[in-house]
Structure 1
Amino acid sequence: MKFVFLATAALAAATGCRVSAAEIDRADLYRAQAVTNGFGEANRVRALAPSLTEVLVKVSGDPRLSGDPRVGEMAAHAAAYVKDFNYRDLLNNRPPHDEQGTYDRPQYLTTDFEPDKIDVLLASLARKPWTSRRPAIVALFDIRPMKGDGFALSKDGDAAGAADMRTALTVAARQAGMPLVLPGQDIIRSNRDKKLEVLAGMAKALGGDLVLAGTMAWRDEALGWVADWQLRANGKDYRWQVRGVSFDDAFRNAMLGTAQILSGNGQPEAVTSAR
């Protein structure tokens, strides 16, 4: 889990708290990152499987593909669809410690898949690439933690846990292929009491195209976070919920649900963790 967090932090540091519309280009959609140990082929093959699933979901905008057994079979042969890959040392080239060698040293694996091959796979799944421009999403999230005061997640807030949440949200947006705008505290404070309908009409002024509003609260009875999301798009209001998950999973649910709606793949379903 430590290495997974380091990889997440590295990606967020590279992208910042804004994933702009200009950055979501074709190459980004067919690229995925994963953590692996060393450079061995067996470890690389294991890392390529979730990377292929991520790309199929990201290119199509349909998160339901991640649970499709046909995708699981495709992921087992992910190497056949790879265009290129490269490694980056997760430990920033620090010398190995204890008995650690290059064979098990954590690496950040970036994989580019062949766009034409991915498109063919999607066609076999009765899906197609989401090729239209992806709107920039303004995230307005109220956080109610297990301890301490609640806060609005912003790009410059210093509440306990806010930095880790910004990291997780930025990575979730990248994995979903969604441009993200996280406003500053001053903007959030000045608009905090406004209704979603009003905020939706102010999206451009807030720096994006659409507003995704959400409340995320820790609930002991749910054994995790409970999040409610609201998105107004194409003159229609969409609402969905996820329960009993980590905040990383809650943010993934928010961004993937948004992608599902905007790509024309339907309404996100409520999700309850089985843990």
Structure 2
Amino acid sequence: MLRSSGLACLVALLAPAATGCGAAADELYQAKAVVSGQGEERRALGFALCLKDVVAKVSGDARLTDDPRMAEPASKAASFVTGFSYRDRLSGKPLHDEQGSYDRPHDLTCDFDRHRIDALLETLGHRPWPEPRPRILLLVDIKDRQGKAFMLANDSADARDQDMSGALAAASERFALLFRLPAQALLAKAVVDEMVQGKADPADLERVANAAGAEKVVAGTLLWSDQALGWVSEWRLSVQGKSYRWQARGVGFDDAFRNVVSGAAQILSGNGQPADIVK
């Protein structure tokens, strides 16, 4: 159990240092996809990808992205769209000799009809996961390919750490679930080990989360494995006295952070235990 002195230190360190990432409430029915150019065929593909993502985001259940029942709605995704826009990912860079505007990569942003999405979810046996959604403090103990151990912090200047933080931010935006990382000062405290190892009392975890401006703590590990040919992640989250664990093996770190965010979303939205991912 966390000592009271340790908890006091956490309260002092977390409050000013925590940072967040996630989608705003008015973006809940909005999704983005990368498409090649602005042609009608590529736009239709982008609409379908965005529809699957927005259904997963609104419900909190990422499994709907690959649900076979989504094939038919995805084929007419344009009928759910109320507006869309493009952003050239190579803006400011001249066209190459072999690259015309047709295949130039763009971010396609789609806005969807709220009532039609809610009705679609009902046919799938789901319902919208209402706002406000809980804010989450993520504590992750990492061991990289070179064997270096560290914990991910919001104020690290290391390029690799920033890439990982960016992956977490992208996943948070995709699933509209606010995640926060701690400051390096917190990570020097021994009490963090108890959280990551799953030994901390759930009531203490809740107090630590509240001190960070969050409601929940997800703790876990991210280890490079030559045997798995990728990263191995394991995550823990306690909700209403029940402890959930899930993992991913042989994935890139982008997939590992999508896995922690989508898994937490699935649990907190009432959609049950996340499945493990093994590649």
TM-score category by the smaller chain? 0.7 to 0.9
Query: Structure 1 length as normaliser, TM-score?
Result: 0.87
Which digits, 9 at most, give the CA deviation of each residue in 1:157-198, with x for residues without a partner? 234621111111110111111011112111222342343433
Structure-to-structure mapping, 1:96-245, within 5 angstroms: 96-159=95-158, 161-190=160-189, 191-195=191-195, 196-197=200-201, 198-245=204-251
Counterpart residue identity of residue 134, structure 1? R
How many residue pairs match? The answer is 254
Which digits, 9 at most, give the CA deviation of each residue in 1:196-246, with x for residues without a partner? 433333111123111110101111111111111011222221111111111
Query: For residue 269 of structure 1, what is the aligned residue in structure 2?
Result: 275
Matches of 1:89 and 1:270, distance apart in 2: 36
SS at structure 2 position matched to 1:214: strand
Aligned partners of 1:24 and 1:178 also within 8 Å: no
Q: Which runs of 5+ in 2 are unaligned?
A: 1-18
Structure-to-structure mapping, 1:33-112, within 5 angstroms: 33-112=32-111
Which digits, 9 at most, give the CA deviation of each residue in 1:56-77, with x for residues without a partner? 1110011221221011222222
Moved more, 243-252 or 92-101: 92-101
Matches of 1:166 and 1:266, distance apart in 2: 26
Give the RMSD, CA atoms, in angstroms.
1.6
Counterpart residue identity of residue 52, structure 1? L
SS at structure 2 position matched to 1:222: coil
Query: 1:50 Cα deviation (Å)?
Result: 1.6
Query: For residue 7 of structure 2, what is the aligned residue in structure 1?
Result: none
SS at structure 2 position matched to 1:108: strand
Counterpart residue identity of residue 20, structure 2? R
Classify 1:251/1:258 alpha carbon distance in 2 versus 1 (closer, same or farther; 3 Å): same
Moved more, 159-168 or 75-84: 159-168
Query: For residue 20 of structure 2, what is the aligned residue in structure 1?
Result: 18
Query: Greater relative contact order (Cα 8 A, min sep 6): structure 1 or 2?
Result: 2
Query: 1:132 Cα deviation (Å)?
Result: 4.2
Matches of 2:75 and 2:227, distance apart in 1: 37
Q: Which runs of 5+ in 1 are unaligned?
A: 1-16
> Structure 1 residue runs of 4+, over 4 Å off?
none
Q: State the identity as a percent.
A: 46
Matches of 1:187 and 1:119, distance apart in 2: 41
Larger Rg: 2
Matches of 2:173 and 2:187, distance apart in 1: 23
Does 2:252 correspond to 1:246? Answer: yes
Query: 1:40 Cα deviation (Å)?
Result: 0.7
